[in-house]
Amino acid sequence: MHYVYILQSQLDQSYYIGYTSNLENRINYHNNGRSRYTRKKMPWKIVYTEKFDSKTEALRKEKFIKKQKSRTFIEELINPSK
């Protein structure tokens, strides 16, 4: 399985969008300060995940979300009922 995930910083409420094939390891990677991009905004919590059968599909979705460049889009994805 492959996943697209969105993390939210507990420090400043910003979002991080990523892809992984091992969700648990990837979250630990971010929260242990091993990612240069995310270490300054720790801790992170998972606010969205989507599962895909192929890496290609997951990467396509990750790219689509990132291209939106919209906090509103991300928040509607996370909370579709609001």
Mean pLDDT of 58-67: 97
Q: What is the largest CA-CA distance in the chain?
A: 34
Query: Which CATH number describes the domain made up of 2-78?
Result: 3.40.1440.10
For residue 21, give the DSSP letter.
S
∠ CA 68-73-7 to the nearest 5 degrees? 90
Indicate if the pLDDT at residue 82 is higher than 70: no
Domain ranges for the chain, please list them. 2-78
pTM for the model: 0.93
What pLDDT band is residue 80 in, cutting at 50, 70 and 90? Answer: confident
d(CA 82, CA 29): 31
